[in-house]
Every structure is written in C-alpha cells, then in structure tokens.
Amino acid sequence: MRGVTAREAADQRAAMLKEAQGPEANGQRVRGGEFAKSWIKSKRLKLDPTTAATYADALDDHILPVFGNYLYDAITPLDVQRWIDDALVAGWKTSKRSGVADGDDDTDDDEEDDQLPRSYSSRTVHGWFRVFRTMTRDAIAMLGLARDPTLRISFPDAAERDEANALSAEQLATFLKVVREKYATHYALVVLLGCAGLRFCHGSALHWEDWDEDNGVLRVRRKLVRGKLDEVTRKKRAPREYSVEPELAEILRWHRRKLIADQAPGLYKGYMFPSTVGTLRSPSSLDKAWKKSLAAAEIEKRFTVHGLRYTFTDLVRLANVDAVVRRALTGHVTEEMQRHYSTVGMDEKRAAVASVVRLVPLGSDRRGVSNTESGTSGGTSASGTAKAG
C-alpha cells in the first residue's frame, strides 16, 4: 500500500488480528451479570410483558446467582451442565411451622420452622436453560465469543417430557362432560378454549359485546395479564375473529342465562366469564375444579389449562385442516407468512372449528349442558337485562 510504512502495516495487521480474536484479546471481557443487565433491558422493548417478566425472573433467581460473576467467554459446557444437574438434584426448600396444619395461622413465635425439601421438574429447569441459551447466543454475536457453552447440554429423560400436554378427542370429550356435570360455572370457558383455540389471557378477557351473535363471530379486542386488561400485542398474536359454531353458541347462551339468573357479580360490567366475586378470572381460579375433573375423568397424565390450546392444535391437524388456516386460527403468525394468513376468510375458519366440534361431541342435546338451567329465560342479552337486586 502506498503511503504506509512496513511498520504501520504490521501494526494495522496486529490490530485486525486482535479484533478478530474477540473480547478476551482486546481486554473487553464482560461478566455474565453485566451483559444480562443490558440484554434484559433491550428484551423488554421487544417482548410481551409476561414473557419479559419470565426472562427476568429466570435471570434473577436462577441464572445470575450462578453465572453473574463469570467472565462470559470463560463459561464452559461443563459449567452449564453442572448448573443443570445441581438444580435438579438440590431442588429447593420451603418453610412450614412444625405441628401446624396448612392454612392455620395460629402459631407461636417460639416454634421452629421445618424445612421441607422440594424438587424442580426437568421441564422447569429446561425453561431456565432456554433463557440462558437465548442470552448466550445473543452474546456470541454481540461480544464475539469464541464458543457456545450451551451446546451438547443434556437433560434426564422424564415421563413428564414423554407425554404431550394435550388430550385426544375422546379424552377431551370425557373431561368436558365431567366439567359440565360437576363445575358448570367453568364449562363455557373451558369449552371455548378447547374447541376454538383461544389463549386463556384472551378468553378470560372477553366481554359480551365481543360476541356478534347474529353472524356467529367472536372478536378478540383485549387480553388479561396478571389481573390487568391490556391491548392484544404483536408479541403474542391472536386472530381478530373466531368462529362460534351453533354448538358453541348454545353453550354461551346457556352460560349467559345462568349468569343472569344467578345475578352474578361482574354481570353489569359486561364480563363474559366473571369470577365469583365479580372480577375477571385468573388461571388459578380453575385449579380446584381442574384437578378434580381430571381425576373423575381418569386422566392421569399431566394436563394444564394451556394444554387445551395444544389439544385444539392437534385436533385441527387430525381433521386435515390446511396448515395456513391452522396458523391463522392459533395466531402463530410469522412475518414471512403474514400475507397468506390475511387471506384466510371466516368461512375457512368456520369450517375448521366445525371439524373440531365434530371430533369432540359437546353433549347429547344442542345446549351441550345439563338441565340445570330450568326456570331461566332464553335468548336474553347479558347487558342491561339482569333483574335488579
């Protein structure tokens, strides 16, 4: 090169080699805690608030206590594997007053706490690992790390990982029948989640005004996150409209009549699925009924409320619904396929939901519910028509 001495050229070459060797050679080595602080700050701008909170909890409680003081480029797969194994073996402990039953607050200050051992499931620890792996791969790109310490990490085979969090059509029908007979208050919401594919955060936030009864359409306008209503975001997408088939519509009408007959708290606020105290429901409101219904239906595998969504996805696939329509129904939209999803019409969605309803019979009568509604009026609007107390 003209105008550059041999000495200058050598210096430039050395500088380029040093830069290519990454942060260790440049004296810019970063600790895990330092990188995590800026990383989670950036993630909060891009993620759904609930997901961002999950990331932050995993970092604060489980990842940084182990790797926060490590130089990031010094972390090895052996360190990560040891962290995973220790979490699974050691678990955690919870305090409980000795000799005192659960829920009894009448304790003496002098009594000692019993440390009860608890174990983390493989699924839970794997969730923390996924957060660490996501952060690490960003660190590889941003810090120029020479290796990926999350490669070839193994987890023990566990029965809970072998069984999908979903039910067959026959199991779902049996489960819904039990809920209908024993816990009718929850029935309409559970059916809607299982047979229309809504997320709980969207289904629990529904108002009666969101149901266009004449056209058989349910519109998702908001979501419920940690007890607060918010707009549906691009981070956790939902179809704007869901098809309400005649069988589902009859169940919603029965549910509405029951709310009016019972003068249910939350009715005047227009909530479609109010709690017993008139607020919007949290997932934990289903816990007791959920466990007992699973037992009564003789379903021993792990199955959660979110499993209803997995079940719906399986059922539309079994019904040979087109993949583009399936994604449009579940809200699993990618940027590359956005233009395809926008062409999915309500008639296609209606046919897909109808195919699920055919797979999962909702009762021998059109209402899909037991005759506990006798004495209530039919076809009554939920807003402004409840009897004055």
pLDDT of residue 161: 43
Spatial distance between the Cα atoms of 316 and 319, rounded to a whole number of angstroms: 5
Strand partners, 197: none
DSSP helix/strand/coil, 135: helix
Considering Cα of 267, then 192, then 163, then 122, what sign does the dihedral take? Answer: negative
Query: Could you read off the pLDDT of 359-379 as tens digits, one per residue?
Result: 787 754 444 454 443 333 444
Statement: residue 112 has pLDDT above 60: no
**pLDDT value of residue 151:** 92
* Rounded CA Rg of the chain: 27
| pLDDT bucket at 16, cuts 50 / 70 / 90 | low
**Average pLDDT over all residues of the chain:** 77
Answer yes or no: CATH 3.40.50.300 is held by domain 169-373: no
The mean-pLDDT minimum among 26-30, 38-42, 45-49 falls in 26-30
Residue 229 phi/psi, 5-degree rounding, is: -80, 140
Question: 325: which 2 tokens?
Answer: 């329509």
Q: Which CATH superfamily is domain 27-98+111-162 in?
A: Tyrosine recombinase, N-terminal domain (1.10.150.130)
Q: Per the structure block, which two tokens stand in for 198?
A: 């809504």
Is residue 104 over pLDDT 70?
no
pLDDT band at residue 58 under the 50/70/90 scheme: very high
* Separation CA 96–CA 98 (nearest Å): 6
For residues 175 and 290, what is the distance between their CA atoms, to the nearest angstrom? 9
Q: Is the pLDDT of residue 135 over 70?
A: yes
pLDDT, tens digit, 9 for 90 and up, residues 310-349: 888 888 877 776 666 666 666 654 444 444 334 455 666 6
pLDDT at 97 over 80: no
| Residue recorded with tokens 């579940």 | 330
Regarding pTM above 0.75, the answer is: no
Nearest to 193 by CA among 228, 213, 218: 218
Q: What is the pLDDT of residues 239-273, one digit of tens each?
A: 788 888 888 999 999 999 999 999 998 888 999 99
How do beta strands 113-118 and 222-225 pair? unpaired
CB 225 within 8 A of CB 255: no
Every domain of the chain and the residues it spans: 27-98+111-162, 169-373
Contacts of 254 (CB under 8 A, 6+ apart): 188, 367, 368, 369, 373
117 phi and psi, to 5 degrees? Answer: -70, 140
Closest CA to 107 of 95, 92, 94: 95
pLDDT band at 35 (very low <50, low <70, confident <90, very high): very high
| 89, two tokens | 């073996």
Burial class (CB in 10 A: 0-12, 13-18, 19+), 125: buried
